Amino acid sequence: MTIKALLVGIDTYPTAPLDGCGQDVIDMANFLVDNNYFKPEEIDTLTDDRATTEAIKQRILRLISGMTSGGRYLLHYSGHGTQYAERDSSGEVTTYHDAICPVDFDYSPEHMITDVDFQNLFDKIPTGAEFTWVSDSCYSGGLARDMVPRVSGGKSPRLFPISHDIQWRIETARSINLPILGFRAVALQLNGALIAACGADETDWPVPNLGGHNGALTYGLLNQLKTPGGPTTPLKSLILSVQKVLTNLGLLQHPELHGNPSITGKPFLV
């Protein structure tokens, strides 16, 4: 059996920088090692300017290529998320996607990682490999039409600012009921679980922590995993506790859990 983790965090977006994503990676890595989930050599990290589209895809492929049946694996992403709709050569809006934003993201298909990209990558996961995917980002675009830069404690939400033309495409896709695969559907096809930062009409915010910031999901997840019963609590119950932590902080976001019931009914990374 093999066990491996890939942790990705991006703060240094040229046009929409964040704060706390790199800290999410460090805090999660330290927690995993300190609590014997992984050894240091079993954790791969990728942050900031190095976390390009190509680099993230290569690291995910490296993670997947080493998977075995019965192994335990973690992918943690902290950074911007968005939605994207594309026109074909005749000008028709024909595709609609959830996407994460690598550091070189520019709203071109070559510089994003969409739900279809993730599905193609995850199709290579062998049967019997148990996989947990943590996404500390917005990925719904549900509040995109309100996307002027907002501020929470001087910090920005983890939703990449959407230009008016892209927003018009997204609204067009919705108005014609263009189907979207979405990260939730990708997760439901996994032998694993997706722990997502917020609901479809919510925004992911940073949370002050120890003089810096964490993403709200990473903060709440680690907060509850560090409680006496946290490591043995099934994910479907743990996520409810994380929601309460964020509600108590005054955040209007509700982390979600999606995936295979055989995994969501187990504790974190058991």
138 is catalytic: yes
Query: Could you tell me if 126 and 68 are in contact, meaning their C-beta atoms sit under 8 angstroms apart?
Result: yes
Residue with tokens 């690598």: 102
Burial of 105 (0-12, 13-18, 19+ CB in 10 A): buried
CA distance 233 to 218: 17
Q: Is the dihedral of CA 78, 218, 243, 236 positive or negative?
A: positive
Candidates 76, 80, 97, 258; catalytic one = 80
What does DSSP say about strands 81-87 and 93-100: parallel, antiparallel, or unpaired? antiparallel
Which residues, at least 6 apart from 130, have a Cβ–Cβ distance to it below 8 Å?
70, 71, 72, 73, 191, 192, 263
CA distance 94 to 173: 8
Catalytic residue among 21, 101, 138, 198: 138
Q: Which residues are catalytic?
A: 80, 138
